[in-house]
Structure 1
């Protein structure tokens, strides 16, 4: 398994309603066939260095890498301007342990 953490910095103009109702369903639809197994969205308090985090879980690191190079990922990333005035920081990684 692998995970990708997607972070939006504090101060970002962010439309959570659009994100949850349109963007995240788009993420699931476009990236699910590439091995995306689940996602979670967190909203942080105003004093945190980030305002929103999405955690995407993949069946493997190879699936994430293939999805990252796909036209579907471009479509997902092109949608960011519909809900945010900042590009996210994306941190992919292999899961080494869980409980």
Structure 2
């Protein structure tokens, strides 16, 4: 399996300056924004994506987590992601205000090993 670059797009639980709680339209995010991301970034090397949501309060700690929605997009390389942002980022950036009142924080990292109980899957993301 080839090397993957993980682009983590995380939506903070509160706006960094106004401290207003995150408002997030998951229905539009799934039906409108993510298809737009696929169209805009897919031709430039985006391989897959996954979304995690975190409840507030956290069922383990009772506290509000720092991020409530986190999407990971996997690319073949950091260079592929840079090209995707350059070629398809303007439209996708403008669309954020349609579903969120808080702009996301973005991290770039390596997609490492993953596993399933009972065995290591190897590099990348688990296969469904």
Match of 1:66 in 2: 83
Q: TM-score, structure 2 length as denominator? A: 0.72
**2:70 pairs with one of 41, 45, 53:** 53
Measured against aligned partners, the alpha-carbon deviations of 1:7-28 in whole angstroms (never above 9, x if no partner) come to 0011211101000111011101
Q: Which has more helix, going by share of residues?
A: 1
Q: TM-score, structure 1 length as denominator? A: 0.91
Separation in 1, partners of 2:98, 2:51: 17
User: Whose relative contact order is higher, 1 or 2, with alpha carbons under 8 Å and at least 6 apart?
Assistant: 1
Match of 2:109 in 1: 93
Q: What does 1:35-54 correspond to in 2, within 5 Å?
A: 35-46=45-56, 47-54=64-71
Match of 2:44 in 1: 34
Match of 1:7 in 2: 10
Number of positions where the alignment pairs a residue of Structure 1 with one of Structure 2: 97
Measured against aligned partners, the alpha-carbon deviations of 1:8-52 in whole angstroms (never above 9, x if no partner) come to 011211101000111011101110001000000111011211110
Which stretches of structure 1, 4 residues or longer, exceed 2 Å deviation after superposition? Answer: none
Coordinate RMSD, CA, aligned? 1.1
